[in-house]
Amino acid sequence: MTDQAEQLRTATRTKGLEQAAYSNRQLAGQSRVLAVTSGKGGVGKTSLVVNLGLALSRLGYRVVIIDADLGLANIDVMINSVSRYNLTDVINGSKNIRDVIMKGPLDLKIIPGGTGLFDLANLDQARRGVLLDQLSELEDEGDFIIIDTAAGISRQVISFVEAADDFILVTTPEPTAMTDAYSVLKVLSDRGLKDKGKIVVNLTRNLQQGHKIFAGLSRVVQKYLPSMELNYLGDVRHDPAVSNAVHSFVPFVISNPQSAASTAVSRIAWRIASNSEAEQPFRRGIAGFINQLKGLS
């Protein structure tokens, strides 16, 4: 009953946000850059990225996903498409940024990262300028730019998270996932990142389990990383619709929009969109993201 009541509340709130989204995004401002990361692989991070992007698209926002997970880059597989080009082709000057954009459902745009973002520190000034100019064009393509990072605490991952306007850390109730999630938070805290962390608990049994996992993580953070503040975006259920979507190459937000997982992701999208409208003046946009990333590389 609790889950059903929450679904009804989410549907009501979402309808209001859908009506306001198109007019709100015409206001002067920049894209909001979100980095989505995890402490370990196998927690459903990329699936969340794709379906979250689609849920935001349903709310009327333009969404661009940059696939920066070189080890497990599979966003194209999830939408049953194959990428021919990536950001490396943009840096080399053989392609324009719009040439490498893959089109997904609901006008979702996906950019394969290749090694482009990872090679940023080694680029000469001219090629850095090319990449910055090209990526700056994404400001006109998306209200949200979502960076799907690799898992773990590599230098590149931490740099992406630091440079973004916000980051979303995905974990599961599995103890090792929780431990690795804390490791990510500790590294970020040590580097001075205090207040832009948002948590999603994936593969939960119910709403209560998600709250319990977040409460446990928050207690540990408050004890050992007292200057860091976490915000809870919500949980996503362990749902057959998710595995069915993987096998059918159709994201579950599209293939089964009434499923528990779809409802949960839609609720998370609503929360992100609502916070984004409130935090409009604090956005750095994609140009700010790249400039920050250059300084951190």
* pLDDT exceeds 60 at position 97: yes
Using CA atoms of 2, 274, 239, 148 in order, give the dihedral in degrees to the nearest 10. Answer: -150
Nearest to 177 by CA among 142, 144, 213, 225: 213
Identify whether 9 is part of a domain: no
| Token couple for 104 | 């997904």
Q: Which helix (H) or strand (E) holds 198?
A: strand 197-204
| Neighbouring residues of 28: CB distance < 8 A, sequence distance ≥ 6 | none
Q: Return d(Cα 92, Cα 289) in angstroms, integer.
A: 21
What is the Cα Rg of the chain in Å? Answer: 18
Identify whether 137 is part of a domain: yes
pLDDT tens, residue by residue, 264-296: 999 999 999 998 666 655 677 887 887 787 666
* pLDDT exceeds 60 at position 21: no
CATH number at residue 236: 3.40.50.300
Q: Return d(Cα 46, Cα 49) in angstroms, integer.
A: 5
Identify whether 21 is part of a domain: no
* pLDDT exceeds 80 at position 18: no
Q: What is the pTM of this model?
A: 0.88
Helices within the chain (DSSP H only): 2-24, 45-58, 75-78, 87-91, 125-136, 155-163, 175-190, 207-224, 240-248, 252-255, 260-278, 285-296
Contact 144, 57 (CB under 8 A): no
Per-residue confidence band for 73, with pLDDT thresholds at 50, 70 and 90: low
Range of the domain at 237: 31-296
Identify whether 14 is part of a domain: no
Identify whether 201 is part of a domain: yes
Q: How many independent structural domains does the chain possess?
A: 1
* pLDDT exceeds 50 at position 27: no
The pLDDT of residue 9: 57
Q: Which helix (H) or strand (E) holds 112?
A: strand 109-112
Identify whether 17 is part of a domain: no
